[in-house]
């Protein structure tokens, strides 16, 4: 990472700039009807990054002021964009009116299906053209509605529509021999060979990814990956920056400027599932290029992500926001910063990865920064404390300073606070211990860098740095606890789902925390579920365990309907700690074929 890579701060800035076009009708000046649905999607990315926040009211306003005609018009693809926007609004708010509207829109889209070309829906209601985008959207809307409709089954189900559409699309010939999707079919129902627009690659990737998540059909994931890989390899400027085929000569009209963000949005969904490092590098390169090369003085973005900026409007801007906003890891009010030390958001001069998301230096590692970054601009002004979780494989009374911690302002190099850590300061071996550094953030616009320097002391122990968090003394990232099941998601949290994980087990357990003071405490588990309306089944059991006696001192079940949205929520357990005892905090995930994907960001003890 490098200065300028605070994707949360950049997302907030981009959202403010987009809203300069937001008007009294709940739409965006300078752009069209279907583009506005994608502006909603861009705002929804911001809501995810902020775990709620001020932009929830935009969903309400846009819906209320434009729902009279149920978001229907003569174009089936226009309708699909609005259906997707309102499905996600349901996820973020829990308000069923959004989901109901999406179902109304889908019913109208389904009327566009007929036997011409052996199936598929038309592009528009005059029935003159069957193309890729309308059918891709039909697939993606159908599978997402299935995921949110309990009891959906049978010949008229959303799942049946999704599988029918997928089979038809695969047989249509629109996916060419290069694994790219052409624009549509000619009058003979053959691939018309027209432009391989980026959004045509993106939406089918999204549909196939969701089908895989629902059915476990590996062919869907294989095909999604092949299309994504082909698009990345082909639709670029030679330096890895996404480019439409028309950009070298100028892209006319208001549609094309929206396309690239749609591809990136769906690629991010595939990355969330696969954690393919190539996808992450592609997302970072594009986010960085937009911010550096395609931004004007008002923080508006243009069409050419590699620059120079051509012109600005809400379509260009909302599209270019996407690579930035999909990289913004969700923050919460109780824990504004939490990263595993092995996160790609940090740089490492020395050492090696350890476990799920930690970083280790052994005695033979050369001197240098075992961690630096993440160039944080989004932290509020005022007093803060950075907590570094460190462990050694052996204790000693030696006074050697093995680690140096500091916080500095990047632009002027000012060190705001620093602390040396001696070997003898570690109370136990192989137990993470919190080392905190207090500082005052007082300079606007100067990125903050947290640094851990490995001194390379002779005969030093193996040192493992697990987490870096800001404020609150007892914090752990879920990724660096112990696990029986699960995997990292695209935002470096730990998750389990019924496709990857076919048995119940501990999603997260551990901490083995010795430093919890005696008295009354509250364990806070930051959790989210990707599907909260399917049933009221038991999703997880949370517990606090005295690690010295293995006695459960507090426990509770978490039911699916306790999640009101797909955002992170705090699930809490009160317990009394005994001085000197060690405590484990455990999240047991309950497998069923229809269990939600459960994700844990962190554990806090208050």
pLDDT band at 443 (very low <50, low <70, confident <90, very high): confident
Cβ atoms of 482 and 509 closer than 8 Å: yes
Q: What is the pLDDT, as a whole number, of residue 421? A: 97
Of the two residues 278 and 580, the one the predictor is more confident about is 278
pLDDT band at 444 (very low <50, low <70, confident <90, very high): confident
- How far is the C-alpha of 375 from the C-alpha of 450, rounded, in Å? 8
> How far, in Å, are 12, 13, 23, 417 from residue 19 at the CA level?
11, 10, 8, 37
| Element containing residue 89 per DSSP (H, E) | helix 76-93
Instruction: Give start and end residues of each alpha helix (H) in 235-341.
Output: 259-274, 277-293, 314-325
**Domain CATH number, residue 293:** 1.50.10.20
Q: What is the pLDDT, as a whole number, of residue 200? A: 98
Per the structure, the complete domain to which residue 591 belongs is given by 478-605
Q: What is the pLDDT, as a whole number, of residue 248? A: 82
Radius of gyration of the CA atoms of the chain, in A: 25
In a domain, 121, yes or no: yes
* Domain end residue (candidates: 293, 325, 357): 325
Instruction: Indicate whether 457 pLDDT > 80.
Output: yes
What average pLDDT score do residues 360-387 get? 96
Instruction: Give start and end residues of each alpha helix (H) in 173-197.
Output: none
Residue with tokens 């005969």: 459
- How far is the C-alpha of 305 from the C-alpha of 243, rounded, in Å? 8
Residue 503: both structure tokens together: 């048995």
Instruction: Indicate whether 473 pLDDT > 80.
Output: no
Q: What is the pLDDT, as a whole number, of residue 32? A: 97
**Domain CATH number, residue 557:** 2.60.120.260
> How far, in Å, are 68, 145, 291, 472 from residue 97 at the CA level?
13, 13, 36, 38
Q: What is the pLDDT, as a whole number, of residue 485? A: 98
Q: What is the pLDDT, as a whole number, of residue 252? A: 85
320 and 204 within one domain = yes
Instruction: Indicate whether 8 pLDDT > 80.
Output: yes
495 and 463 within one domain = no
Instruction: Indicate whether 515 pLDDT > 90.
Output: no
pLDDT band at 251 (very low <50, low <70, confident <90, very high): confident
Q: What is the pLDDT, as a whole number, of residue 454? A: 98
Residue with tokens 């005892």: 581
pLDDT tens profile 411-428 = 999 999 999 999 999 999
**Number of domains comprising the chain:** 3
The mean pLDDT value of the chain amounts to 96
pLDDT band at 306 (very low <50, low <70, confident <90, very high): very high
Predicted TM-score (pTM) of the model is 0.97
Q: What is the pLDDT, as a whole number, of residue 514? A: 84
In a domain, 332, yes or no: no
167 and 18 within one domain = yes
What average pLDDT score do residues 436-458 get? 93
Cβ atoms of 495 and 600 closer than 8 Å: yes
Q: What is the pLDDT, as a whole number, of residue 451? A: 98
In a domain, 516, yes or no: yes
385 and 301 within one domain = no
pLDDT band at 576 (very low <50, low <70, confident <90, very high): very high
408 and 532 within one domain = no
First to last CA, the chain: 32
| Element containing residue 247 per DSSP (H, E) | none
Q: What is the pLDDT, as a whole number, of residue 118? A: 98
pLDDT tens profile 159-183 = 999 999 999 999 999 999 999 999 9
Percent of the chain with pLDDT over 90: 95
In a domain, 275, yes or no: yes
pLDDT tens profile 26-59 = 999 999 999 999 999 999 999 999 999 999 999 9
Instruction: Indicate whether 250 pLDDT > 80.
Output: no
In a domain, 231, yes or no: yes
What average pLDDT score do residues 77-82 get? 98
- How far is the C-alpha of 334 from the C-alpha of 469, rounded, in Å? 11
In a domain, 331, yes or no: no
pLDDT band at 534 (very low <50, low <70, confident <90, very high): very high
* Domain end residue (candidates: 472, 502, 517): 472
Q: What is the pLDDT, as a whole number, of residue 109? A: 98
* Domain end residue (candidates: 275, 296, 325): 325
């Amino acid at each position: 990472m490098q200065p300028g890579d605070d994707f949360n701060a950049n997302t907030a800035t981009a959202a403010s700039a987009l809203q300069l076009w937001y008007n009294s009708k709940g739409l965006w000046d300078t752009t069209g009807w279907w583009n506005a649905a994608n502006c909603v999607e861009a705002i929804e990315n911001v809501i995810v990054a902020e775990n709620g926040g001020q932009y929830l009211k935009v969903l309400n306003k846009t819906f209320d002021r434009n729902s009279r005609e149920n978001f229907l018009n003569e174009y089936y693809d226009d309708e699909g964009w609005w259906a997707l926007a309102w499905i996600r609004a349901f996820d973020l708010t829990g308000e069923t009116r959004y989901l109901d509207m999406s179902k109304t829109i889908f019913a109208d889209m389904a009327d566009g299906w007929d036997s011409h070309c052996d199936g598929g829906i038309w592009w528009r209601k005059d029935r003159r053209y069957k193309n890729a985008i309308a059918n891709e959207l039909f697939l993606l809307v159908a599978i997402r509605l299935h995921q949110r409709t309990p009891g959906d089954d049978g010949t008229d189900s959303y799942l049946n529509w999704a599988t029918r559409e997928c089979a038809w699309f695969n047989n249509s010939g629109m996916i060419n021999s290069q694994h790219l999707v052409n624009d549509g079919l000619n009058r003979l129902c053959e691939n018309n060979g027209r432009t391989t627009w980026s959004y045509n690659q993106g939406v089918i990737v999204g549909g196939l990814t969701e089908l895989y998540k629902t059915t476990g059909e590996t062919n869907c994931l294989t095909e999604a990956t092949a299309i994504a890989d082909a698009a990345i390899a082909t639709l670029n400027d030679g330096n890895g920056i996404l480019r439409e085929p028309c950009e070298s000569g100028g892209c006319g009209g208001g549609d094309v400027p929206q396309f690239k963000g749609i591809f990136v949005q769906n690629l991010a969904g595939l990355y969330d599932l696969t954690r393919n490092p190539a996808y992450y590098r592609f997302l970072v390169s594009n986010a960085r290029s937009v911010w550096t090369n395609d931004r004007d003085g008002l923080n508006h973005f243009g069409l050419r992500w590699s620059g120079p900026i051509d012109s600005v409007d809400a379509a260009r801007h909302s599209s270019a926001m996407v690579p930035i906003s999909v990289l913004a890891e969700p923050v919460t009010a109780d824990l504004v910063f939490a990263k595993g030390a092995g996160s790609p958001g940090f740089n490492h001069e020395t050492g090696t990865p350890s476990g799920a998301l930690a970083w280790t230096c052994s005695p033979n590692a050369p001197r240098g920064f075992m961690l630096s970054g993440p160039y944080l601009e989004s932290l509020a002004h005022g007093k803060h404390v950075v907590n570094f979780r460190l462990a050694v494989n052996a204790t000693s009374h030696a006074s050697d300073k093995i680690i140096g911690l500091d916080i500095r302002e990047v632009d002027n190099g000012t060190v705001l606070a620093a602390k040396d850590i001696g070997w003898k300061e570690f109370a136990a071996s192989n137990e993470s211990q919190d080392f905190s550094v207090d500082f005052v953030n007082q300079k606007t616009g100067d990125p903050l860098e947290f640094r851990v320097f490995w001194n390379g002391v002779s005969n030093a122990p193996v040192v493992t740095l697990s987490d870096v968090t800001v404020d609150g003394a007892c914090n752990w990232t879920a990724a660096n606890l112990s696990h029986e099941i699960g995997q990292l998601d695209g935002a470096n949290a730990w998750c389990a789902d019924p496709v990857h994980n076919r048995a119940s087990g501990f999603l997260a357990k551990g901490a083995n925390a010795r430093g919890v003071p005696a008295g009354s405490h509250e364990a806070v588990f930051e959790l989210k579920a990707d599907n909260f309306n399917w049933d009221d089944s038991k999703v997880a059991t949370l517990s606090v365990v005295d690690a010295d006696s293995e006695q459960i001192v507090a426990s509770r079940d978490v039911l699916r309907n306790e999640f009101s949205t797909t955002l992170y929520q705090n699930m809490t357990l009160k317990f009394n700690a005994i001085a000197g005892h060690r405590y484990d905090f455990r999240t047991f995930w309950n497998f069923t074929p229809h269990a939600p994907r459960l994700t844990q960001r962190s554990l806090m003890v208050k």
